[in-house]
A and B are shown apart, each in its own frame.
Chain A
Amino acid sequence: AQKVTQAQTEISVVEKEDVTLDCVYETRDTTYYLFWYKQPPSGELVFLIRRNSFDEQNEISGRYSWNFQKSTSSFNFTITASQVVDSAVYFCALKGGGSGNTGKLIFGQGTTLQVKP
């Protein structure tokens, strides 16, 4: 069975602090994909990043960075120098990649990030 766990329900930081959102996943697929989505207060789901299971390179995009470690089945997300506009719910998601997979996303419970001025 596939599962995504985001153990941090809520995180509160002060602006300019760095913050890391944890994501741990379970899957039996040898090929799979990991994602992060942002859900701001307005409610939409905004795609942030996709990671393939065969590519363990970490990625940086501006103030965002992602650390993918297959050995610990983790795909953590760090925001550097957080800003108030980063306040949102962040979801980690998993998709199987083997034959027979339909592409459905399995989401974690989400982490609510509050960045205070």
Chain B
Amino acid sequence: EPEVTQTPSHQVTQMGQEVILRCVPISNHLYFYWYRQILGQKVEFLVSFYNNEISEKSEIFDDQFSVERPDGSNFTLKIRSTKLEDSAMYFCASMWRQNNEQFFGPGTRLTVL
């Protein structure tokens, strides 16, 4: 069964460093998303991506964040200069059509020291 994959599973970085989180969505899906979950809290929407551009972003998704779909398979989230408060689990999700469910990857746990 096709699934969303994410790498790495855990990333530790120093404050101020850049990180890139990688995702491979399900191959025939058209809509892509990043969410984050701070430990013990709810899942929060960061950004949606469709037709090679951002379709919506939340207040959390400031200038330090960017997304890219550099080829036909990968979908990346970059944080330019990490802060302590960026420590969270980051989930990638993809969806085939607007009225379908989203399938989530296993997440990348980001720890900023």
How far apart are the CA atoms of A93 and B50 in the complex, in Å? Answer: 21
Main secondary structure of the interface of B (DSSP, over half): strand
Partner of B44, one of A37, A46, A102, A107: A107
* Contact B56 A45, beta carbon cutoff 8 Å: no
Using Cβ atoms and an 8 Å threshold, which residues of chain B touch A97? 98-99
Using Cβ atoms and an 8 Å threshold, which residues of chain B touch A110? 42-43
Known contacts A44-B107, A47-B103; is-contact A105 B35 (Cβ 8 Å) = yes
How far apart are the CA atoms of A104 and B107 in the complex, in Å? Answer: 17
Interface size on B, residues (CB 8 A): 27
A109 lies within 8 A of chain B by Cβ: yes
Using Cβ atoms and an 8 Å threshold, which residues of chain A touch B107? 43-45
User: Which parts of A67-117 form the interface with B (CB within 8 Å)?
Assistant: 91, 93, 97, 101-110
* Contact A103 B48, beta carbon cutoff 8 Å: yes
Q: Name the residue among B43, B93, B105 with the largest chain A CB count within 10 angstroms.
A: B43
* Contact B50 A105, beta carbon cutoff 8 Å: no
Residues of A within 8 A of B (CB): 33, 35, 37, 43-47, 50, 52, 91, 93, 97, 101-110
